[in-house]
Structure 1
């Protein structure tokens, strides 16, 4: 990267594009929660016979994860994204387990299961990325780490100083 640095203008555009993609993904997670809560498919309710209480739990995780992540990414207070990603992963994992039970019944169900699994991995990827942003070895106690995290906001451009 240092040998052939990217043009700063192009880098800003690409990193802004990443931010926009993240905002859209968090919005999609939120809409998935709305869909799960209000328009639960009959196949899912049939599959959950006796476990219908799982639908509001599952949709709640998606709603909280999507809303918190969206607000965090739009406001650039990335500290909101960490719990948002955990909630989104749990909600997607519940859906993956429910959907995964039918994965071997048809090709369509298998493809849907794989896509849901990929969505979960992408949320995990963002969570790991946020762990890098939140790690600072000079802060030993929780109060100083929290104060620093609350002060810190992300920009469209990642600093390239090391």
Structure 2
């Protein structure tokens, strides 16, 4: 990459597209949380009989993960995305476990389970990517780490030197 860097205008378009994709994923997770809270499918309610509290947990994790992640990515304060991706991941995981029981009952259910798995992997990928921003060997105590996180914001593109 250093020998043959991508042209600046093209790189900016690609990085803007990545940001839009991230925002779309967070919005979809948020929408899933609203859907889980307002209109949980009857099959899931029946499946969780006796454990209906999981629906509230599931919805809360999706709402928090999607909402906070969206705001963090939109405002470019990446540090709020770290817990948001974890919340979203576990919200999606609950759905994957519940849906997994039906995964082999039909092709449609298998496709749905596969897409939920992809969403969960997307959250894990974003969390791993955020760990790059979160590592600063010069920050030794919690107060300095928080101050640095509040000062830093991600930009739409990464500056590269030729």
Instruction: State the TM-score bracket (shorter-chain normalisation).
Output: over 0.9
Map Cα deviations across residues 47-82 of structure 1 (whole Å, 9 max, x no partner). Answer: 111111111110000000000001001111111111
For 2:58 and 2:33, locate their aligned partners in 1 and report how far apart those are by CA, in whole Å.
Answer: 8
| Unaligned ranges ≥5, structure 1 | none
CA positional deviation for 1:159:
3.6
For 2:27 and 2:118, locate their aligned partners in 1 and report how far apart those are by CA, in whole Å.
Answer: 17
For 1:159 and 1:132, locate their aligned partners in 2 and report how far apart those are by CA, in whole Å.
Answer: 16
| Unaligned ranges ≥5, structure 2 | none
Map Cα deviations across residues 11-30 of structure 1 (whole Å, 9 max, x no partner). Answer: 01110111111111111100
Matched, 1:88 2:85: no
User: Number of paired residues?
Assistant: 161
| Aligned structure 1 segments of 4 or more residues deviating by more than 3 angstroms | none
CA positional deviation for 1:158:
2.1
Map Cα deviations across residues 91-137 of structure 1 (whole Å, 9 max, x no partner). Answer: 00000000001112112111111110110010010001001011011
Say which SS state the counterpart of residue 60 (structure 1) adopts.
Answer: helix
Scaled by the length of structure 1, the TM-score of the pair is 0.96
Q: 2:26 maps to what in 1?
A: 26
Q: 1:17 maps to what in 2?
A: 17
For 2:157 and 2:72, locate their aligned partners in 1 and report how far apart those are by CA, in whole Å.
Answer: 16
Q: 1:158 maps to what in 2?
A: 158
For 2:158 and 2:40, locate their aligned partners in 1 and report how far apart those are by CA, in whole Å.
Answer: 40
Scaled by the length of structure 2, the TM-score of the pair is 0.96
